Structure 1
Amino acid sequence: MTNDMLMGLLPVVFMLHEFEEIVMLKPWLAKNGAALERRFPAVAARVLPLYGNLSTSAFTVAVLEEFLILTVLTYAAIAFGLHDLWAGLLVAFLFHLLVHVGQTILWRGYCPFIITSLLVLPYCLYALFALARSGAISPAPTAAWSVAATVLVYLNLWLALRLARRFEAWIGHDFAPRS
């Protein structure tokens, strides 16, 4: 498999992971929200207002925004040979997956992101090592892009969730039953 083919798989792998979150987050929060508040009140105080009030449709809008940005950046990196930039995106995604692994360990049970986190971790590691082995990426630029991408991903999460809340308000207003 060429580096470009390996790189082009990232949006697919990202969506595989996100599908688990889209499908499972709302029912998981409904079942475990009270336990989350009891066991991790500080986390619950931050997470439940952000995600608990969003419909699955609105959460999907946030995921769509992230997917579009990742896809554009991935294919721009392929087209212009920006392998270190792409590796930085991959490392940010890898960090995201590792956070999910840590969350699941702390929770000591199923969390709505762990199955696909474990499934896609090998792809992330293989892609990173394959690009490094081929000489397409270098440690210093990849590290710099990794830090920048991780910061931008978490800043963008704020934007994506804001977009989701606006979508939620729009569907609540424009699609509410009329009497």
Structure 2
Amino acid sequence: MEYLYLLPIVFMIHEFEEIIMLPTWLDKNKAMLYMRFPFMKDKVDSLSNAPVFALTVLEEFIIISACTVMSICMNDLTVWYCCLIAFGLHLIVHIIQFLVIRKYIPVIVTSVLCLPYCIWVFIQVKDYYTLNETLLWGFVGVVVCVVNLLLMHKISPKLWSWMNGNNRT
């Protein structure tokens, strides 16, 4: 079960690429993204703010780490499994984004490098859960992840503003 400890580490390796590379890449590619994906303008703008984005990543890291520790302490993989499935699907979404945009995006390198870990671990734990349980926990993980991400994209700019003494947002 040593592979449980790796999830927060693998997650952060991927997120470091996003935190470091994505804001600059977005600034350079905003015009193309706005033209091709006008419905994503607000999302692109919010991801361009590195400190705000980093706050969201920090919160996600705390959740993944807490779920990992809880699973280890309780000897129950369920909450960790939800995180693993959601993270693996997150990586697949980035690969699809790369294929749709058809040019380098700062998340592709670590998505390709981290996905084999997710697949390998998924194979390691496949006998712990039935197909229906896997689908259920995968669904739960994705729903929690999406709701959390939507909330954090709203909260992080306000938190960052508050942290910098601007209480008007």
TM-score by length of structure 1 reads 0.86
Q: CA deviation at 1:144?
A: 0.8
5 Å-filtered alignment, 1:51-62, equals 51-52=47-48, 54=49, 56-62=50-56
The range that moved more, 74-83 or 9-18, is 74-83
CA RMSD of aligned residues (A): 1.6
Task: Check whether the contact 2:64–2:80 (CA below 8 A) recurs between aligned residues.
Answer: no
Q: Sequence identity of aligned pairs in percent?
A: 36
5 Å-filtered alignment, 1:10-25, equals 10-25=7-22
**1:170 corresponds to 2:162:** yes
Amino acid in the other structure paired with 2:135: A
Residue of 73, 83, 101 corresponding to 2:77: 83
Amino acid in the other structure paired with 2:158: R
CA distance in 2, matches of 1:172, 1:87: 36
**1:48 corresponds to 2:44:** yes
Q: CA deviation at 1:34?
A: 0.7
CA distance in 1, matches of 2:60, 2:81: 17
Amino acid in the other structure paired with 2:26: L
CA distance in 2, matches of 1:85, 1:167: 27
Q: Which protein, 1 or 2, shows the higher relative CO under an 8 Å CA cutoff with sep ≥ 6?
A: 1
Which residue in the other structure is 2:100 paired with? 106
The SS at the match of 1:109 is: coil
Residue of 99, 112, 115 corresponding to 1:118: 112
Task: Check whether the contact 2:46–2:53 (CA below 8 A) recurs between aligned residues.
Answer: no
CA distance in 1, matches of 2:22, 2:131: 36
Task: Check whether the contact 2:52–2:160 (CA below 8 A) recurs between aligned residues.
Answer: yes
CA distance in 2, matches of 1:116, 1:85: 24
Count of residues paired in the alignment: 166
Task: Check whether the contact 2:53–2:156 (CA below 8 A) recurs between aligned residues.
Answer: yes
Structure 2: runs of 5+ lacking an equivalent: none
CA distance in 1, matches of 2:135, 2:74: 19
Which residue in the other structure is 1:39 paired with? 36
The SS at the match of 2:165 is: helix
Task: Check whether the contact 2:55–2:156 (CA below 8 A) recurs between aligned residues.
Answer: yes
Q: CA deviation at 1:172?
A: 4.3
Q: CA deviation at 1:32?
A: 0.2
The range that moved more, 97-106 or 87-96, is 87-96
CA distance in 2, matches of 1:72, 1:140: 25
Residue of 123, 141, 146 corresponding to 1:149: 141
Structure 1: runs of 5+ lacking an equivalent: 175-179
